[in-house]
A and B are shown apart, each in its own frame.
Chain A
Amino acid sequence: MSCEKYDWKAYALGELAANERREAEGHAATCEGCRGELAHVRLTIDTLSALREEEVPRRIAFVSDKVFEPRWWDVFLRPSFAAALVLAAAILMHGYLTRPPAVDSAAIQAQVNQAVTRAVANVERQNADLEGQVTLLYATQTGIRRQ
């Protein structure tokens, strides 16, 4: 029989304060009943430690689970997105700073009109020349036939 004053289970389980441990150890040195009780508790706990720890059959990970999917605004916080944003800004800035001089569309339209007018005049002149040649050739052939 052990002495009720001493909690040997708490002692073996490491739950006693340092001063309580010292007192209990001092008592156990002189009490056979308490030594026997402590030995039984320790043996039970040691035997329990024979239980094998099992490996987890498969890893627990949740990366693919819905709850772990990033919120739609999280995409703006990603470093890759920030880098892409900086690159796009740089391209836009470069395009703005090196843009060609402004184009006067009215002047271009006037130039086009002028070119068209010249082209039409050229064609008309060529047609008139051709017509004159045909008339001359016709008259020449008609005169030959009369003779």
Chain B
Amino acid sequence: MIFREVEDRDLIAKARKGDVEAYNLLVSRWEKRVFNYLLRLVSNREDAMDVSQEVFLKAYQSLPKLDDVERFGAWLFRIAHNEAFSLLRRRKPEGEMPVERGNQGRGLLPIELSLAVEKALGRLTDEQREAVLLKVYQGFKFEEMAEILSCPVSTVKSRLYTALDLLKATLCEVNHEL
């Protein structure tokens, strides 16, 4: 992990000097995480792909403004957060809701359980879902999440804890063990 961080730092330094290949390598390391975060947030593959492109383009253009290369991950997700919520705000007037999947039952197969989780996440507000994505799936610390979301740690915890309570209740319907 430390070795990886050192390499990322080197790639960032090269990319700042205009080394496109170094930046492309950096993109290849982060694209899956960013794409999956955006996919769960905007609930549409094409939109997630378009926003991912936009995120990495903006990140490249803003690299000179990155103060602390050690915080590249949080900084990148901050950009992703801004882009995703910009899209979600544009969508609001249309009243678009996350895509609902088929009914789930007990004794679920992995794919069915995955869909059940996706459905449960879809019932959360955008802010609650984002808190779960950043913490559970991306492993950010509360402080990093506060930085990404531009809000106090107390707000981060409030959103996340509420989301976890709601998820527990929702997932109980599809998993009798809960």
A binds B: yes
Contact with B along A22-61 (1 / 0, CB 8 A): 0000000000000000001101110111111111111111
- Write out the residue numbers on chain A whose beta carbons fall within 8 Å of the beta carbon of B60: 62, 67-68
A60 engages B39 (CB within 8 Å):
no
Asked if B117 lies at the interface with its beta carbon under 8 angstroms from chain A, I say: yes
A56 engages B56 (CB within 8 Å):
no
Asked if A143 lies at the interface with its beta carbon under 8 angstroms from chain B, I say: no
- CB proximity to A under 8 Å, residues B3-55: 18, 20-21, 23-24, 27-28, 31-32, 35-36, 39-40, 45, 49, 52-53
Min CB gap A67→B, angstroms? 7
Chain B interface size, as a band, is 35 or more
Those 10 A-B pairs whose CB atoms lie nearest each other, nearest first: A50-B113, A51-B117, A44-B168, A52-B114, A56-B35, A60-B31, A68-B20, A56-B31, A48-B136, A47-B171
Q: Could you tell me which A residues sit within 8 Å of B by CB distance?
A: 9-10, 13, 15, 40-41, 43-45, 47-63, 65, 67-68, 70, 74
Q: Could you tell me which B residues sit within 8 Å of A by CB distance?
A: 18, 20-21, 23-24, 27-28, 31-32, 35-36, 39-40, 45, 49, 52-53, 56-57, 60-61, 110-111, 113-114, 116-118, 121, 132, 135-137, 141-142, 157, 160-161, 164, 167-168, 171, 175, 177-178
